Amino acid sequence: MQINVNREKPTCNCGVFGIFGSKNASLETYYGLHALQHRGQEACGIITKSISSKGNPVFTAHKGEGLVTEVFDDHEIFQKKLVGNVAIGHNRYSTTGSSESLKNIQPFIVNYRLGNLAVAHNGNLTNARVIRDELVHEGAIFQTTSDTEVILHLIARSRLDGQVEQIKEAIEKIEGAFSLVLMTDNKLIGARDVNGFRPLVIGKLNDAYIITSETCAFDILSAEFIREVEPGEIVVIDDEVLETGNIKSYRISDLYEKQNHCIFEYIYFSRPDSFIFGHNVDKMRRRLGKVLAKNHPVFNESDEKVIVISVPDSSNTTALGYQTELEKLGVNCKLEIGLIRSHYIGRTFIQPGQINREIGVKIKFNTVKGVLEGRTVVIVDDSIVRGTTSKQLVKLMREANPKSIHLRISSSPITHPCFYGMDFPSKGELIAYNFNSNVKDIADYLGVDSLEYLTIDEMLEAVSEAGKENFCHACFSGEYPTKVDHNFKKEIYEI
Ligand code: SF4
């Protein structure tokens, strides 16, 4: 049985990338997707636009299941197949739509009244089921089980004449989370929902323009960051923009007074070297660690050093913030590398009966015994979802004979589902839901000497430079910033 042992963290987000005006558009999209691999590892795809010998625009796609390096494993794909100076690409986990279906791999293309149109989507539409049912009732035939296809149908059915107007009309009908890149016969278009749940940024590479999920995709190309796509904004790049340098901008609706950025992007999901929601992720993640230490320190009764370690790699930055603040509080402490993570896991073979045993965690982690032995150890992690991995990890660490193990979590207990593109298991599988958020009971289950989470107020305090009120925290609080369909099940779409 092949399982993905990386999936103990929240999954199901995606990465999008689009570039306009570069002769190496497909190769640059490949590098961009490579930098965004953390946002989706199940499948990926690139679509390019070139001009045929008869002068007509031609859209060409290459997609497949697996990592970017697996799907694009032959340089001839870039030299002979994906030619043209405009491209969009997508890395995916499944959101709505079966992860098994090849048809659901984005970007999607249609050819309609006004020409070709391709789309790549990060997020999740909360009213997709209602719109889809209406469209099917009116005779629409869907090719995929993904919510993203709804957007293409709405655009293609518009009676308006301009493509930007059609896209604006379609976007005004959809609700929920979307950061989109779209490619038409002569434009690259970016659009972001009014809440700004997911990031979307604009950059420049020589004369070409890029629209993508995170700025780390600029860095791999040495591209320059220009600005973020505003929540509720549509931006258009075309030949005129290449000449004038003035990006065309349209509003989906008036700017909301407040946004609802996904706080999980700062806690765990985005790369620490990215700049999103107006701030460096690294800075916000360190602040989460600092606030965690300030409110939930670990003291050592003797004068021996407290050893702070991270669960690599996602909580490295948070652990750094935690140790810095703990030291400021006067605690004799040191940041150490106590866990080594294997970076070569991929999809690993595990015997069915072994899934819940230590092998899953041992494939991924090992302890540095000399660091842990006889020490008071603080292990900093960003979140606990099911708790099975944390429990196995603690068991593994016990084998190194530490004096005590204290777990500190830089988010609140996850108790509710996300309807905006992050995939948590069902409520019944969430450890915090199962233990009614009773931290003492969770600590006993995990086998740690102490456990502390950030409260929701503490999380918001940590990100307050970006505006406390500008964050969604629904998976911790149950306070959804938009109307959601609580009966929604993604299986509804699966074929
Ligand atoms: S519910 Fe949680 S994961 Fe989903 S957008 Fe809100 S904060 Fe992010």
pLDDT tens-digit readout, 161-200: 999 999 999 999 999 999 999 999 999 999 999 999 999 9
Q: What is the spatial distance between Cα 95 and Cα 74, in angstroms, rounded to a whole number?
A: 28
Q: Is 228 left (phi over 0), alpha (psi -120 to 50) or beta?
A: beta
Band (438; pLDDT cuts 50, 70, 90)? very high
Cα separation of 460 and 472, whole Å?
A: 10
Contact 193, 123 (CB under 8 A): yes
Which whole number is the average pLDDT over 202-215? 98
Checking if the pLDDT of 490 tops 90, the result is no
Q: In whole angstroms, what is the distance from residue 238 CA to residue 189 CA?
A: 9
DSSP letter assigned to residue 454? -
Q: Report which secondary-structure segment, H or E, holds 133.
A: helix 128-137
Residue that has been written with the tokens 């000497």 in this structure: 449
pLDDT of residue 424: 82
Query: In this predicted model, what pLDDT tens digit does every residue of 116-149 receive, in sequence order?
Result: 999 999 999 999 999 999 999 999 999 888 899 9
Question: Which ranges of 380-438 does DSSP label H, i.e. alpha helix?
Answer: 388-398, 431-434
From 475, 477, 483, mutation site for ligand 1 pocket: most ligand atoms within 8 A of C-beta: 475
Inform me whether the pLDDT recorded for 355 exceeds 60. no
* Protein residue with least CA distance to atom 4, ligand 1: 418
- Separation between Cα atoms, residue 385 and residue 268, nearest integer Å: 12
Element (H, E) at 405: strand 404-409
Average predicted confidence (pLDDT) for the chain: 91
Peptide bond into 219 cis (omega under 30): no
| Long-range contacts from 477-481, C-beta under 8 angstroms, 24+ separation | 477/412, 477/416, 478/415, 478/416, 480/419, 481/195, 481/260
Rounded mean pLDDT, 43-53: 97
- Whether residue 493 is predicted with pLDDT greater than 50 in this model: the reply is no
More confident residue, 389 or 358: 389
**Nearest 5°: phi and psi at 199?**
-75, 160
d(CA 176, CA 192): 10
Residue 2, pLDDT score: 42
Instruction: Write down the pLDDT at residue 429.
Output: 87
> Mean of the pLDDT values across residues 260-284?
97
The span from the CA of 466 to the CA of 266, in Å, is 11
Q: Is the model's pLDDT at 94 over the cut of 70?
A: no
Q: At residue 451, does pLDDT exceed 80?
A: yes
Probe ligand 1: pick from 473, 477, 480, max atoms within 8 Å of CB? 473
Cα–Cα distances in angstroms (integers) from residue 19 to residues 78, 181, 231, in the given order: 15, 9, 20
Model confidence band, residue 307 (pLDDT cutoffs 50, 70, 90)? very high
Kindly list the protein residues whose Cβ atom lies closer than 6 A to any atom of ligand 1.
197, 262-264, 418, 420, 422, 472-475
* Residue nearest (by alpha carbon) to ligand 1 atom 6: 472
Give the C-alpha separation, 463 to 471, whole Å: 9
Q: What does R_g of the chain's alpha carbons equal in angstroms? A: 23
Q: What is the pLDDT of residue 7?
A: 47
Active site residues: 14
- Residue 303, pLDDT score: 78
Which atom of ligand 1 sits closest to the CA of residue 476? 2
**Does residue 494 surpass a pLDDT of 70?**
no
Q: Is the pTM of this model over 0.75?
A: yes
Residue 3 has pLDDT above 50, yes or no: no
Between 131-140, 215-224, 300-309, the lowest mean confidence (pLDDT) is in 300-309
Percent of the chain past pLDDT 70, that is, above it, reads 91
The pick from 422, 454, 483, 484 for probing ligand 1's pocket by mutation, whose C-beta has the most ligand atoms within 8 angstroms, reads 422
Atom of ligand 1 nearest to the CA of 417: 1
pLDDT at 6 over 50: no
- Name the residue with the closest Cα to ligand 1, atom 8: 262
Mean pLDDT for 239-267 is 90
Which is nearest to 146 in space by CA: 420, 419, 490? 490
pLDDT for 357 equals 58
